[in-house]
Structure 1
Amino acid sequence: MTDASRPLLALWRHHRRHRPRVIAAVLATTANTAADVAPELLLGIAVDVVVRGADSFASTLLGIESRFGQLVAVAVLNVIVWVIESATDYLAAVLWRGLSQSVEHELRVETYANVQQLDVSWHEGSAPGRVLSVISEDVNQLERFLDVGARVILHTAWTVIFVGAVFAASSWQLMLLAFIPVPVIVWGSIRFQKVLEPRYKAVREAAGEVSATVSANLGGLATIKAFTAERREAERVRDVSEGYRQANRLAIRSSAAFVPLIRMAILAGFTSTLLLGGWFVLEGRIEIGLYTVLVFMTQRLLWPLTDLGQTLDLYQRAMASTRRISTLMNQRGEQQPGHTVLPAPVRGRIELRGVRFGYADGPDILRGLDLVVPAGETHAVVGATGAGKSSVLRLVLRFSDPREGQVLLDGTDVRDLAWESLRGAIGYVSQDVFLFHGTIRDNIAYGRPDATDAEVREAARLAEASRFVEETADGYDTVVGERGLTLSGGQRQRIALARAILRDPAVLVLDEATSAVDNETEAAIQRSLAHVTADRTALVVAHRLSTVRDADRIWVLAEGRVVESGTHDELVGAGGLYAGLWAVQTGAAALSAVD
């Protein structure tokens, strides 16, 4: 959807495949409205039969002299009309509800798919709760309008047309009186629509704020409890919920004022028809049966308009939601995939040439960085916090693009590569391991859903995860909680490593893979890494220098530049920055100070 200023038009253009269903639903609603209006006409005809007998309209039209015979004919027609009304009501309900469900499903899937394609940096700057609010609540709001509101609006419009035709054929004076309230109602609708639009936009924004706050708090519940901040966070939720309530209160006050206005207009129209129509009967200008029809038709014309307040309320909420959906669907990431595919087999040579990089409008993190990882070698990137270590991995994975310079994989700029070719050649183990709610097997096989059980078990063995997995109650069928919180940090790391190994990538990228594990787990991960990196390229960011001492080359960063590189022994012997970091981590610096 590209026209957020006209959301209904945008929906019509975007969902072209549903136009036949929309047309069928409109036709069913039209037939249903016609059948819904017909009983008032039949009631007038029945009254005319009772009052006028052989001179009645039914006698003239049907050629039946018996009054009872005329009533039987009217009753049969009434049954037919009711059957048609019931059948078309069912058909219209099925069509509109099916349409609303289909649009809801497609918009949710399309919006999520677009959000999933956006840059990692976009997601880092957006609150997940707000995105969730659009995909869930806003899409549901639109579904409710298509299910109920659209049908009510169409039914009301056709009622005005059909009833207007009856009045026009009966008495133009009564038609004018009965329709006097309609312009008032139309004006009120337009007026209230303009008033409600910004207020419901504020309601949807406030709903997003509530969702974002609750989502963030649930994600950080352990931290909240650790700092005994439950009361403070409850107050925070109370504040944003109060903001949502106040925004709704303003919108509700405006929408609620609409119904009394319509009721007064209805009273004026109904009273006018009652008095003038009655006078016409007394003067002999119209028959009593027609007078009965017109009185009931006035109510049929005006009373459904009382629902316009609620329908307008539903419409404004839906349009505010549609604009938010459209805005999210139209988001485009700064990074677009290339079209080049790496020739097989991928060798895995990584090169950074003159790379300058920073986040958003912030200062440079990397400044003219040059770095080469030959195919099949294990290289480590180390340095103090803020030196730019993880930024190097972001560029290799193309979570971000450099401001200047190139990042190359097998001699091809990663910006020219299709996502499947680039990331399909890389196995990634992050510092903050994310496991999905599901079984251990599902999480290990995430990168290769078609992997066999034997392949999953072998990957777990190589990652030294098989032992603790098999000790669990259900083994590989054990269900881990959301984000894998039922497992220890070391267990999550080893499952993440198994997940990367199972993919059999040409390049293995590890970001602080042993930062949250104990010495025993670190040793286990080290053993598995030594095995799985033997015939593939590995790029490792590490804080613990002991985990990279066997790397083919270690790159030492400081202030976004390479200040040293070499093997562990070479760097320790050089007595530079790396040697200082090594001394601090091994305790040599503390012992020297004591001496």
Structure 2
Amino acid sequence: MRTTPQAEADAVPTRRILRLFRPYKGRLTLVGLLVAASSVVSVASPFLLRAVLDVAIPQQRTGLLSLLAMGMIAVAVTTSVLGVLQTLISTTVGQRVMHDLRSQVYAKLQRMPLAFFTRTRTGEVQSRIANDIGSMQATVTSTATSLVSNLTSVVATLVAMLALDWRLTLVSLLLLPWFVYISRRVGRERKKLTTQRQKQMASMSALVTESLSVSGMLLGRTMGRTDALTADFTDESERLAGLEIRSSMAGRWRMATIGITMAAVPALLYWSAGLLLHLGGPTLSIGTLVAFVTLQQGLLRPSVSLLSTGVEMQTSLALFQRVFEYLDLRPDITEPAYPVRPARIRGEVRFESVTFAYDTEQAQAALEGVDLTVPAGSSLAVVGHTGSGKSTLGYLVPRLYDVTAGRVTLDGTDVRELAFDSLSAAVGVVSQETYLFHASVAANLRFAKPDATPEELYAAARAAQIHEHIQRLPDGYDTLVGERGYRFSGGEKQRLALARTILRDPPVLVLDEATSALDTRTEQAVQEAIDALSAGRTTLTIAHRLSTVRDADQIVVLAGGHLVEHGTHEDLLDRDGHYAALVRQDKHGAADAPRPASERTVARFRASPQPTDRLCSPDAQP
């Protein structure tokens, strides 16, 4: 993964933010027209008031007074209606922009390589989507409209003030530069605090995600770390609370000074009008002076709001920056410009001088110079000590990582040239850590094939030797599996994962230590399901227990990223080398005492509510 330089990330171009609104320029134009109309209509009231004070009341013209009063009421009604319409349209546009941002970030993350997620905390990813984009709601739904609305109101009010008396207008604008300076200072301060606050929110979100998951809860309880985790969360929350207070109060006294000063301006205007009269200047009628002060007071709200909006926009730049950082991520694994989509895949897999390093600067590669051919429909077992590169070799076939040198081919085509959908349809992966969604059994199986019929579900479950067990559950295939499948045993989860893979029916199968965490009896049942799944497919088995690979067509031994032995089980035993030594060390088959299959899983479902099939974890990976 490569990111943009920090210098570029620190400055978010305004044009880039505006491009987010480009698809909705028609609606935004309508909002602008409504805002302009509302602003123009609103400034009519002071002129109507001047006519009331200078003409209608002194001259006792009752008819004119009634018309002027009705006009002032009509102005209020019109501005209110226009305000509701512009709020409706602008909020709709803002929510659509937020939807677009969320979708773009999620789509980008779905294209990121496995390496990105292995070094990024899940809570951090969730925080970018939920907290950062959620905090931008005010900016994209109301701030832009507020800016246009207040700017138009200020301009229209200033024009009206100039029309009434240009001298008093100049007096009103003397403090404007000071106001602008203060608002810019406050904006920069709040932007800095917002960046710190969002990082702290991400840190707290990550802690919650990790410690309150099923795995985190089990670990905390069994290790006696519940109080320590609570203390950690309390500290994180306290830091966030402090940042929230500082962010809320940043520049508050400065902005209050602006409000006090602008509220005192009417007294300055009355004093200026009296001074002009004393100096012999043109006289001002009472109606004109009252109308002008009314306009100036009307200028107070949009002016302060405009300055506050500027502060909010500076603050929101920090949020845009964090979101754009994810949008600017460049995945190392990309689909080719002209992807290959073969009509039929036989399943021959080849590793041609394959070298792979997780970090190009690391001293030793995870794999180096691996040459290997797996004929279509045959089985290959990969064995070796922990850290020898077994899982890495398997992950190169479905292109979870790309080779550093050499190539991996499928039926003679480099996997980097295949379309993503073709490759995912051709290669199925069953790992030791089985992931199940918080949804029904049927929904979890249909994740592999959304249009699968009930008969296809039953056939896949029978092949994985899990159908009868599912039928005994309270709601059968509609039974909720629970968060991450923790309401199933390890062997049951593995067989559900196998059924899911059978439903997808890939010609190439990668089994990454799929039975290493199971007891002997459960392993035997799962192994039978694996044998059924492997029939007629090209199978790569990454094995820890060597008892599961004796019947493989070929076995390779990895050591330190190098292929050191290659042959059948009998051949490798006869050589009395690395493989024979591993077999002697493999004590698991004798050490594990058989245990009867438990029926407690069925009982665990009896007292539990059964929600719908909806997949509730969109960011999870199966």
Measured in 2, the distance between the counterparts of 1:216 and 1:268 equals 54
Measured in 2, the distance between the counterparts of 1:521 and 1:188 equals 71
With the length of structure 2 as denominator, give the TM-score of the two structures: 0.88
> Contact 2:352 / 2:371 at 8 angstroms: preserved in 1?
yes
What's the CA shift for 1:268?
4.7
> Contact 2:102 / 2:133 at 8 angstroms: preserved in 1?
yes
- 2:131 is aligned with 1:137: yes
Tell me: CA distance 1:476–1:589, structure 2 relative to 1, closer, same or farther (3 Å).
closer
- 2:222 is aligned with 1:226: yes
How do 1:455-534 residues align onto structure 2 when only pairs under 5 Å count?
455-534=456-535
Measured in 1, the distance between the counterparts of 2:12 and 2:588 equals 67
> Contact 1:353 / 1:369 at 8 angstroms: preserved in 2?
yes
| Long gaps (5+) in structure 2 | 592-622
Tell me: CA distance 1:542–1:588, structure 2 relative to 1, closer, same or farther (3 Å).
closer
- 2:37 is aligned with 1:43: no
> SS of the residue aligned with 1:372?
strand
Tell me: CA distance 1:212–1:313, structure 2 relative to 1, closer, same or farther (3 Å).
farther
> SS of the residue aligned with 2:563?
strand
| Greater mean alpha carbon deviation, residues 283-292 or residues 81-90 | 283-292
Measured in 1, the distance between the counterparts of 2:38 and 2:410 equals 65
Structure 1 residues 342-364: Cα deviation after superposition (integer angstroms, max 9, x where no partner): 53320111111111112123331
- 2:346 is aligned with 1:347: yes
Measured in 2, the distance between the counterparts of 1:251 and 1:228 equals 36
What's the CA shift for 1:50?
5.0
> Contact 2:463 / 2:533 at 8 angstroms: preserved in 1?
yes
> SS of the residue aligned with 2:185?
helix
The one of 207, 224, 238 aligned to 2:201: 207
Structure 1 residues 357-379: Cα deviation after superposition (integer angstroms, max 9, x where no partner): 12123331112112211100011
What's the CA shift for 1:92?
0.6
> Contact 1:281 / 1:287 at 8 angstroms: preserved in 2?
no
Which residue identity does 2:313 align to in structure 1?
A: Y
- Counterpart in the other structure of 2:569: 568
Tell me: CA distance 1:587–1:189, structure 2 relative to 1, closer, same or farther (3 Å).
closer
What's the CA shift for 1:48?
2.1
What's the CA shift for 1:470?
1.0
- Counterpart in the other structure of 1:184: 178
- Counterpart in the other structure of 1:24: 30
What's the CA shift for 1:587?
7.3
Tell me: CA distance 1:556–1:589, structure 2 relative to 1, closer, same or farther (3 Å).
farther
| Greater mean alpha carbon deviation, residues 543-552 or residues 197-206 | 197-206
Measured in 2, the distance between the counterparts of 1:252 and 1:312 equals 15
> Contact 2:380 / 2:539 at 8 angstroms: preserved in 1?
yes
Measured in 2, the distance between the counterparts of 1:411 and 1:236 equals 53
Measured in 1, the distance between the counterparts of 2:421 and 2:301 equals 60
- Counterpart in the other structure of 2:74: 80
Tell me: CA distance 1:299–1:135, structure 2 relative to 1, closer, same or farther (3 Å).
same
- Counterpart in the other structure of 1:90: 84
Which residue identity does 1:318 align to in structure 2?
A: S
> Contact 1:515 / 1:544 at 8 angstroms: preserved in 2?
yes
Tell me: CA distance 1:317–1:453, structure 2 relative to 1, closer, same or farther (3 Å).
farther
Structure 1 residues 498-524: Cα deviation after superposition (integer angstroms, max 9, x where no partner): 111111111011111112222222111
How do 1:440-451 residues align onto structure 2 when only pairs under 5 Å count?
440-451=441-452
- Structure holding more helix per residue: 1
Tell me: CA distance 1:127–1:309, structure 2 relative to 1, closer, same or farther (3 Å).
farther
> Contact 2:187 / 2:315 at 8 angstroms: preserved in 1?
no
How do 1:8-407 residues align onto structure 2 when only pairs under 5 Å count?
8-49=14-55, 51-53=57-59, 67-219=61-213, 220-278=216-274, 285-308=283-306, 310-338=308-336, 339-360=338-359, 361-362=361-362, 363-407=364-408
What's the CA shift for 1:382?
0.8
| Greater mean alpha carbon deviation, residues 329-338 or residues 239-248 | 239-248
Measured in 1, the distance between the counterparts of 2:256 and 2:111 equals 48
Structure 1 residues 5-35: Cα deviation after superposition (integer angstroms, max 9, x where no partner): 2354212224321111111112212222223
> Contact 1:447 / 1:500 at 8 angstroms: preserved in 2?
yes
What's the CA shift for 1:450?
0.8
Measured in 1, the distance between the counterparts of 2:115 and 2:385 equals 23
Measured in 1, the distance between the counterparts of 2:161 and 2:531 equals 90
Tell me: CA distance 1:467–1:319, structure 2 relative to 1, closer, same or farther (3 Å).
same
Structure 1 residues 37-78: Cα deviation after superposition (integer angstroms, max 9, x where no partner): 33233223222235531xxxxxxxxxxxx6110111112212
Tell me: CA distance 1:587–1:428, structure 2 relative to 1, closer, same or farther (3 Å).
closer
Which residue identity does 1:186 align to in structure 2?
A: V
> Contact 2:98 / 2:140 at 8 angstroms: preserved in 1?
no
Which residue identity does 2:51 align to in structure 1?
A: I
How do 1:550-565 residues align onto structure 2 when only pairs under 5 Å count?
550-565=551-566
Measured in 1, the distance between the counterparts of 2:179 and 2:366 equals 62
Which residue identity does 2:36 align to in structure 1?
A: T
Measured in 1, the distance between the counterparts of 2:269 and 2:548 equals 91
Tell me: CA distance 1:487–1:230, structure 2 relative to 1, closer, same or farther (3 Å).
same
- Counterpart in the other structure of 2:602: none
> Contact 2:357 / 2:366 at 8 angstroms: preserved in 1?
yes
> Contact 1:349 / 1:409 at 8 angstroms: preserved in 2?
yes
What's the CA shift for 1:295?
1.2
Measured in 1, the distance between the counterparts of 2:166 and 2:425 equals 75
Structure 1 residues 76-97: Cα deviation after superposition (integer angstroms, max 9, x where no partner): 2123212311220111110111
What's the CA shift for 1:156?
2.1
- Counterpart in the other structure of 2:597: none
> Contact 2:113 / 2:333 at 8 angstroms: preserved in 1?
yes
Tell me: CA distance 1:134–1:588, structure 2 relative to 1, closer, same or farther (3 Å).
closer
Tell me: CA distance 1:588–1:245, structure 2 relative to 1, closer, same or farther (3 Å).
closer
- CA-atom RMSD in angstroms: 2.2
> Contact 1:262 / 1:305 at 8 angstroms: preserved in 2?
no
> Contact 2:154 / 2:303 at 8 angstroms: preserved in 1?
no
What's the CA shift for 1:281?
7.1
Tell me: CA distance 1:213–1:137, structure 2 relative to 1, closer, same or farther (3 Å).
same
Tell me: CA distance 1:485–1:35, structure 2 relative to 1, closer, same or farther (3 Å).
farther
Report the identity percentage: 35
Measured in 2, the distance between the counterparts of 1:251 and 1:123 equals 31
Measured in 2, the distance between the counterparts of 1:455 and 1:303 equals 66
Measured in 2, the distance between the counterparts of 1:33 and 1:221 equals 57
> Contact 2:466 / 2:496 at 8 angstroms: preserved in 1?
yes
- Counterpart in the other structure of 1:546: 547
Measured in 1, the distance between the counterparts of 2:65 and 2:489 equals 82
Tell me: CA distance 1:186–1:369, structure 2 relative to 1, closer, same or farther (3 Å).
same
Which residue identity does 1:373 align to in structure 2?
A: V
> Contact 1:437 / 1:482 at 8 angstroms: preserved in 2?
yes
> Contact 1:256 / 1:309 at 8 angstroms: preserved in 2?
no
> Contact 1:556 / 1:563 at 8 angstroms: preserved in 2?
yes
Which residue identity does 2:113 align to in structure 1?
A: D
Measured in 2, the distance between the counterparts of 1:225 and 1:589 equals 32
> SS of the residue aligned with 2:370?
strand
Measured in 1, the distance between the counterparts of 2:453 and 2:22 equals 42
| Greater mean alpha carbon deviation, residues 366-375 or residues 203-212 | 203-212
> Contact 1:25 / 1:96 at 8 angstroms: preserved in 2?
yes
> Contact 1:337 / 1:415 at 8 angstroms: preserved in 2?
yes
| Greater mean alpha carbon deviation, residues 305-314 or residues 22-31 | 305-314
